[in-house]
């Protein structure tokens, strides 16, 4: 498989990042780390953990979401420091994953050897963010320094208020007894060489079996509690406020579909041009790309405008990209040893969607206006497991059952049914900006009645529906066999709540006007 990186990372850089990931399994992934706090131990966030509490990952405040007013002259420097913060967390998680024995023998090891040094590194990066902002006359938020401290987080943490700590709200679903609180991760056999977790029969990774873990081929998810049989999901039970379909049978009722393929060109990279421009491996996970054929961290707007496109309509050079879906089957992909791939826990066979439906729809309250060229939109949150649910959005379902959508579970589909990933993007725009400092404030979701708040204007809503032919996982004795998962940041434990989708509008003016006219006149166009 190929990658569309114009500037490839050097072998030495790749080795350095891979080395920081420490122990690797058969698929090139990380092993999971767990540690137990003593009955009276306080972690770095001054939260006392009870004896036997299982800590699976690292939770850090999301600094980027607090930066709502960054001057243009400071954006480049700030974005690079935000990417540096992500790298620091990934490296700390790798350290957590590779020091299990040391943690078991020293109750203070995690605080002293992992969380303490991480806080020091984050403090320096946050200071540099403030310097970048003040250098051009801006004012950094007063509370940034308080966001340097991170804490350990249990795999079964729950969040219902969007304030961080989990992302496992159950959306009113009947999960057939698989609630996270009742999931005994400690009882899962994590000797990852027997094929049960997709490692493949006969593959001995050379490591001692991990007695307690967090599932998945790479040892950092998913677990049995991350899956639900679609037939056990109640229809119309998805209750997150984000991601509402903006169109209806009133207002602007037309649709415009663009055919851009399913990434048959095998364009992959672990960059993120929107969040981390100019930063190699800024996403720490691999993306599928359709549409624009020149999208990596180093692409300028001019590069995007002059690129080829996989879309049938050559006027659409927009870039549509999302984290790849992998089957954790023990196979080594092209990135099995790479940063963003197996070196950061993203392992197994990359699955190409059998369908990628990309459609723009209208607004139930009235007409839509044209999107500006190079408008950037991110929907969903790649860090929703540790950030909470405020920006969580995308959902999973099965063909034939699409009145049942779940945001926090991977679905198990019956025979003859395929897995569906759905993303409805923000469709209210502030009328001025193609991006914002936190990459969210310039756009918003419609309100419940379909209207745009705060003087925002309705734009065509992008809806992406991806269909996959995925072998159905099975859950037996608290273990998931043959799991699948979306790529993600390693510390997010491959939770389904972290699925997300990205878009940069690079339609030419004539095509965008055609899209708007089609939608506002109630036509169905492609």
Query: What is the pLDDT averaged over residues 46-71?
Result: 74
- Is the pLDDT at 48 greater than 60, yes or no? no
- The closest of 178, 182, 267, 190 to 221, measured between CA atoms, is 190
**Phi and psi at residue 492, in whole multiples of 5°?**
-85, 0
Degrees to nearest 5, angle at CA 447 with 358 and 260: 5
Query: What is the pLDDT averaged over residues 239-243?
Result: 78
Question: 151 has which bridge partners?
Answer: 59
3-state secondary structure of 412: strand
Degrees to nearest 5, angle at CA 458 with 457 and 463: 145
Q: From residue 297, give the alpha-carbon distance in Å to each of 85, 243, 362, 397.
A: 17, 27, 31, 31
CA distance 331 to 509: 44
- Is the pLDDT at 6 greater than 50, yes or no? no
Query: What is the pLDDT averaged over residues 450-472?
Result: 97
pLDDT of residue 107: 87
- Is the pLDDT at 113 greater than 60, yes or no? yes
- The closest of 304, 204, 221, 298 to 30, measured between CA atoms, is 221
- Cβ proximity of 368 and 513 under 8 Å: no
Dump pLDDT digits (tens) for 249-288: 999 999 999 999 999 999 999 999 999 999 999 999 999 9
497-507: b (≥16 Cβ within 10 Å) or e: bbbbbbbbbbb
Query: What is the pLDDT averaged over residues 32-60?
Result: 47
Strand-strand pairing, 461-468 and 474-476: unpaired
- Is the pLDDT at 98 greater than 80, yes or no? yes
In this predicted model, which residue has the larger pLDDT, 370 or 156? 370
| Chain CA centroid to CA 138, Å | 30
pLDDT of residue 175: 36
pLDDT of residue 157: 64
Confidence of residue 391 (pLDDT cuts 50, 70, 90): very high
Dump pLDDT digits (tens) for 193-219: 333 333 333 233 222 223 345 678 888
pLDDT of residue 158: 54
Which of 181-190, 262-271, 281-290, 359-368 comes out lowest in average pLDDT?
A: 181-190
pLDDT of residue 188: 33
- Identify the top-confidence range among 46-50, 217-221, 407-411: 407-411
**Phi and psi at residue 425, in whole multiples of 5°?**
-85, 165
In this predicted model, which residue has the larger pLDDT, 21 or 125? 125
- Cβ proximity of 457 and 369 under 8 Å: yes
Query: What is the pLDDT averaged over residues 334-338?
Result: 96
pLDDT of residue 238: 82
- Is the pLDDT at 167 greater than 70, yes or no? no
DSSP, residue by residue, 359-371:
EEE-BTTB---PP
Confidence of residue 185 (pLDDT cuts 50, 70, 90): very low
pLDDT of residue 160: 41
CA distance 403 to 464: 16
Strand-strand pairing, 319-323 and 428-429: unpaired
- Is the pLDDT at 64 greater than 90, yes or no? yes
- Is the pLDDT at 20 greater than 60, yes or no? no
Question: 503 has which bridge partners?
Answer: 320, 377
In this predicted model, which residue has the larger pLDDT, 275 or 56? 275
């Amino acid at each position: 498989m190929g990658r569309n990186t114009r500037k490839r990372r050097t072998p030495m850089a790749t080795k350095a990042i891979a080395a920081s990931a420490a122990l690797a399994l058969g698929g090139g992934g990380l092993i999971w780390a767990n540690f137990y706090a003593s009955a009276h131990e306080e972690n770095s966030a001054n939260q006392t953990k009870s004896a036997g509490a299982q800590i699976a990952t690292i939770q850090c405040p999301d600094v980027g979401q607090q930066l709502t007013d960054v001057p243009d002259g400071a954006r480049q420097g700030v974005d690079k420091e935000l990417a540096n913060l992500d790298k620091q967390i990934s490296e700390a998680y790798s350290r957590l994953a590779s020091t299990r024995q040391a943690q078991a023998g020293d109750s203070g090891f995690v605080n002293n050897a992992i969380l303490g040094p991480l806080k020091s590194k984050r403090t320096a990066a946050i200071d540099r963010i403030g310097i970048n902002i003040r250098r051009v006359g801006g004012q950094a938020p007063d509370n940034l320094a308080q966001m340097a401290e991170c804490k350990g987080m249990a795999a079964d943490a729950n969040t219902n208020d969007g304030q961080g700590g989990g992302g496992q709200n159950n959306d009113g679903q009947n999960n057939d007894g698989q609630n996270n609180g009742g999931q005994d991760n400690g009882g899962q056999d994590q000797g990852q060489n027997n094929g049960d977790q997709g490692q493949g029969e006969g593959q001995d990774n050379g490591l001692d079996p991990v007695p307690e873990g967090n599932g998945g081929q790479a040892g950092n998810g998913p677990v049995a509690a991350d899956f639900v049989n679609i037939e056990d999901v109640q229809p119309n039970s998805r209750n997150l406020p984000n991601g509402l379909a903006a169109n209806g049978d009133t207002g602007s009722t037309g649709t415009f579909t663009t055919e851009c393929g399913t990434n048959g060109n095998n364009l992959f990279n672990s960059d993120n041009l929107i969040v981390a421009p100019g930063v190699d491996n800024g996403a720490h996970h691999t993306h599928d790309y359709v549409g624009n054929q020149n999208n990596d961290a180093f692409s300028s707007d001019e590069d995007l405008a002059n690129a080829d496109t996989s879309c049938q309509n050559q006027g659409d050079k927009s870039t549509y990209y999302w984290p790849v879906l992998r089957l954790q089957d023990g196979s080594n992909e092209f990135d099995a040893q790479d940063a963003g791939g197996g070196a950061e826990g993203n392992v197994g066979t990359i699955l190409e969607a059998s369908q990628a439906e990309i459609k723009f729809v209208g607004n139930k309250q009235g007409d839509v206006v044209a999107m500006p060229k190079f408008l950037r939109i991110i929907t969903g949150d790649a860090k929703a497991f540790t950030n909470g649910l405020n920006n969580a959005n995308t959902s999973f379902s099965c063909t034939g059952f699409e009145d049942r959508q779940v945001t926090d579970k991977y679905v198990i589909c019956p025979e003859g049914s395929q897995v569906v990933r759905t993303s409805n993007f923000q469709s209210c725009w502030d009328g001025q900006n193609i991006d914002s400092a936190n990459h969210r404030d310039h756009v918003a979701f419609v309100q419940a009645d379909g209207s745009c708040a705060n003087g925002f204007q309705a734009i065509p809503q992008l809806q992406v529906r991806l269909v996959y032919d995925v072998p159905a996982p099975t859950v037996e004795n608290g273990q998931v066999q043959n799991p699948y998962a979306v790529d993600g940041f390693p510390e997010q434990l491959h939770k389904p709540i972290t699925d997300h989708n990205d878009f940069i509008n690079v339609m030419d003016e004539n095509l965008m006007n055609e899209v708007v006219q089609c939608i506002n006149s109630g036509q169905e166009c492609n």
